[in-house]
Amino acid sequence: MGANLSSVFIDPNVLSPCGSLYSQSPSSNLTLGDLPESCVASILAYLDPPEICKLARLNRAFRGASWADFVWESKLPANYVHLIQRVFGDDLTREISKREIYTRLCRPNTFDGGTKKAWLDKITGGICLSISSKGLAITGIDDRRYWNHIPTEESRFDSVAYLQQIWWLEVDGQFEFPFPEGTYSLFFRLQLGKAAKRFGRRICNIEHVHGWHLKPVRFQLWTSDGQYASSQCFLSDPGKWNLFHVGDFVVDTSNPPMNIKFSMTQIDCTHTKGGLCLDSVIVYPCKIKERLKHF
């Protein structure tokens, strides 16, 4: 019986020297390019953006499907309309496709007079924010005996605030931004020493670095809904940019837009400190914190 059942599924041409072993049925000529774009788009919606962009180069069907709005809307933050309005100042959502919105958000977009940049992390889809030293309230910043803004290619904002020497270190800032729901970490990006280039090589002058080993720097963070975090540490590792973690905060979209305040202080009039470069304050989603080790 088994032999008879098997014979039902045997292609008689296989037994022929000129059989279909060397020929193809019409259905075997189908390729990925013959798939309907709607089917391809439904598949792409389950993939990450980098994978979608790679598959878009396969053929015309995949390229067309990669522009489907519902594919990219699933990759955008839930409140992307508010993000567009805050960063670009207008409603681009009526004029361009969702893919173009995603592309624009992935760029470091400058706003608030050039003092802030916001971008979408391509891997996690989380929103990141950076505030330049010029967007912070720094005690003594207008007195060139203490602080100077110096140009550098090592900053997203092309300049950093350099502390020559001071007794009273106090840096404050605040902002309101429509972060999507989630948990975020706030950091100060600092460096001991002044970096420069000589004969095409990076050098860092740490001659004027002093006072940071005597007392730790205190970092604090407050939110308008009552969250608070603080940390303190000694500044070390001269010649390298480091991210100093201030604390974490949680955004709940059921609440009004959150206002965040933060500070960095080292107040001790028994000694001076100097030789510090302050680049920016950065906010990252907590889920990419591990990648910051290689920042």
Give a yes or no: residue 3 inside a domain: no
Which residue, among 208, 265, 219, has the nearest Cα to 243 in the 3D structure?
219
Query: Residue 250: helix, strand or coil by DSSP?
Result: strand
Burial class (CB in 10 A: 0-12, 13-18, 19+), 31: exposed
Domain count, the chain: 2
Which domain does 285 fall in, by range? 127-293
Give a yes or no: residue 84 inside a domain: no
Domain co-membership, 178 together with 42: no
Residue 197: predicted pLDDT: 85
Give the global pTM: 0.81
Helical segments of the chain, H only: 2-8, 37-44, 49-55, 60-65, 69-73, 80-88, 98-106
> Over the stretch 133-160, which tens digit does the pLDDT of each residue have?
999 999 999 999 999 999 999 999 999 9
Domain co-membership, 56 together with 132: no
Give a yes or no: residue 168 inside a domain: yes
Domain co-membership, 142 together with 283: yes
CATH of the domain at 146: 2.60.120.260
Give a yes or no: residue 214 inside a domain: yes
Give a yes or no: residue 275 inside a domain: yes
Task: Catalogue the E-assigned strands of the chain.
Answer: 109-111, 116-120, 127-132, 137-138, 147-151, 159-163, 168-176, 182-192, 194-198, 201-205, 217-223, 228-233, 242-251, 259-267, 276-285
Domain co-membership, 139 together with 284: yes
| Alpha carbons 147 and 166: distance in angstroms, whole number | 9
Give a yes or no: residue 113 inside a domain: no
Burial class (CB in 10 A: 0-12, 13-18, 19+), 210: middle
Domain co-membership, 284 together with 220: yes
Domain co-membership, 203 together with 264: yes
Domain co-membership, 44 together with 173: no
Domain co-membership, 173 together with 288: yes
Q: Are 222 and 208 in contact (CB under 8 A)?
A: no
pLDDT in tens, the chain (295 residues): 444 433 333 344 444 444 444 444 555 565 555 566 678 777 777 777 878 888 778 777 777 777 788 888 888 998 888 899 899 887 666 678 888 999 999 999 999 999 999 999 887 788 999 999 999 999 999 999 999 999 999 999 999 999 999 999 999 999 999 999 999 999 999 999 999 888 889 999 999 999 999 999 999 999 999 999 999 999 999 999 999 999 999 998 766 778 999 999 998 878 899 999 999 999 999 987 666 654 4
Give a yes or no: residue 111 inside a domain: no
Task: Report the Cα 147 to chain-centroid distance in Å.
Answer: 29
Which residue, among 136, 126, 238, 235, has the nearest Cα to 185 in the 3D structure?
126
Residue 270: predicted pLDDT: 85
